Structure 1
Amino acid sequence: AGAVVVSATNEDRGIRRIALGADGRHAEVLCQKVWDIRQRPFIPVDEDGRGSVAPEMLWAHMDGRKVFKNAVMMMIGSLMQVCGDEQVEFDDIDLFFFHQANMRINQYVAEQLGLPPEKVPHNIQRNGNTTAATIPTLLAECVESGTLKPGMKIALVAFGSGFTWGAALIDW
């Protein structure tokens, strides 16, 4: 698990801009089908009314091509939105922290934006996809290694299940 503690400060740093989005119309393209909210009850129940979850219900379901296409589009769009709103150029950003779910998506996004590899750290090759903990874990690793230092301008960018996405611009 990972978390980032945010607190008030008198220093000229902090979260500068956040952009979040969701499109439930495409939820079936990337989801976990443990509950079917279109039915009552949400999960199968036996004759005694006890719910049961079959092992195959625990696995994520994904249409890889649609996820790739939409992840790239939404990650780039949300990053461009926060940068545009703050009048920040990509060259002004020291590090870009992408959600560590798919290395190919991250590499393609970085390539499309013209970001040099040294500005886009990764840990998916070691940790795999740790879901909601990917960015906080990567931030912690970069602080520990000295890659991320106070005063740096960073961008956080993610895309996830249910077709949700977001970006944040932070003066670390």
Structure 2
Amino acid sequence: MTRAAVLAGVGATVPPRVVTNAELAQRLDTSDEWIRTRTGIAQRYVVDPGMTTGDLAVEAGQRALKSAGTTTVDLVVLATTTPDRLCPATAPSVATRIGLVGVPAFDVAAVCSGFLYALQAGAAAIAAGHADSVLVIGAETFSTILDPEDRSTRAIFGDGAGAVVLRAGQPDEPGAVRQIRLGSDGGMADLITVRGGGSEERTSGRPPRPEDAYFRMEGKSVFFTAVRRMTESSLEVLARTGWQVADVDRIVAHQANVRIVHAVADQLGVPTDRAVLNIDRVGNTSAASIPLALADGALDGRLTPGDRVLLTAFGGGATWGAATLTWPAVTPG
């Protein structure tokens, strides 16, 4: 029989430190009104010194496993742009700290689309029979790569982690991941980037430039490209699922900017009140944003069993994607 990946558990975490718009306004040329109007963000969470992406990933992973009622999986996939080290990958350490010694684990780097790319990897492993269960995590400490003087990025990004447990099941049961469609265009690599730290810089023969150590984003171009690619991939995945736009009960989009999420909903013809939003509270958490929103939506009742859910994201690379599933009866760990 056809195997499908079924969502069996969800968990999320954020660091304890809250940074409000008012606090940012004390240090940058900005204001609470400016940030809220342009992004919809009121606050974000930021790691304290010594707290790593791996720390957040472990906590979110443990909570997802608790939600699924299990302590073991056959594979761990971690989506992150802010790994603990350039080498090795962070996933093996996360797996070991959770107690999954010997389990294969690897990182996926697709920036804000990372969770969907990791979800595809986990679902494919289950569909192919290579795993019966997979822990998929999105975790970021974006505060560690932001320019302290750049209000356009400091105001947007926050830290956090979210995770889901997938198990083998049937395509028609609640929680089954129905379809996933992904895309990329490397010609847009400079839209969202950290230029320094890689082989491009190290083999250039030029001394490192301090500004290249920080995250940069072409905001206006990203806005229009994100709306277009998220809308296109959403329509494609809906068609492959056999759903009409009117069938969608909830959109859980990458929490990039409230205007982007609303614009995608408008382009699709879905009422904006069907979008699950938590960006006002956590900011843009890149690869962690979709699983964080899933956990929040399940916790406060915005996601209910039987809801037909559309996931979509756009990130650096450029990368993008969308997925469909019917929400199961799960309680966040």
TM > 0.5 fold call: yes
Partner of 1:75: 230
SS in structure 2 of the partner of residue 110 of structure 1: helix
The CA RMSD over aligned residues, in Å, is: 2.1
Displaced runs of 4 or more, over 2 A: 34-45, 56-59
Match 2:173 to one of 12, 17, 40 = 12
Equivalenced residues, count:
165
Q: Match for residue 139 of structure 1?
A: 294
**How far has the Cα of 1:9 moved from its partner?**
2.7
Shift of 1:108: 1.2
What per-residue deviation string (whole Å, max 9, x for no partner) do you get for residues 140-169 of structure 1?
001111111222210100001121001001
Percent of matched pairs sharing the same residue: 39
1:18 is paired with a residue of what secondary structure? strand
Q: Identify if the C-alpha distance between structure 1 residues 146 and 27 changes in structure 2 by more than 3 Å, giving closer, same or farther.
A: same
**Does residue 318 of structure 2 align to residue 156 of structure 1?**
no
For 1:2 and 1:136, the matched residues in 2 are separated by: 5
Q: Which has the higher contact order (CA 8 A, sep 6+)?
A: 1
Q: What is the CA–CA distance in structure 2 between the aligned matches of 1:15 and 1:123, rounded to whole Å?
A: 23
Aligned amino acid, residue 273 of structure 2:
E
Partners of 1:67 and 1:112 lie apart in 2 by 16
Following superposition, the deviation at residue 38 of structure 1 comes to 2.9
Structure 1 length-normalised TM: 0.86
Are 1:84 and 2:244 counterparts?
no
When normalised by structure 2's length, the TM-score is 0.46
**Are the counterparts in 1 of residues 162 and 288 from structure 2 also a CA contact under 8 Å?**
yes
What code does the residue aligned with 2:182 have? L
Q: By how many angstroms is 1:113 displaced? A: 1.7
| Other-structure match for 1:114 | 269
Q: d(CA) in 1 for partners of 2:317 and 2:205? A: 18
- 1:96 aligned residue (248, 251, 254): 251
DSSP 3-state at the match of 2:180: strand
Are the counterparts in 2 of residues 155 and 170 from structure 1 also a CA contact under 8 Å?
yes
Alpha-carbon distance in 2 for matches of 1:160, 1:98: 12
**Alignment partners' CA distance in 2, 1:134 and 1:4:** 12
Aligned partners of 2:313 and 2:322 also within 8 Å: yes
Change (3 A) 1:90 1:141: same
SS of match in other structure, 2:162? coil
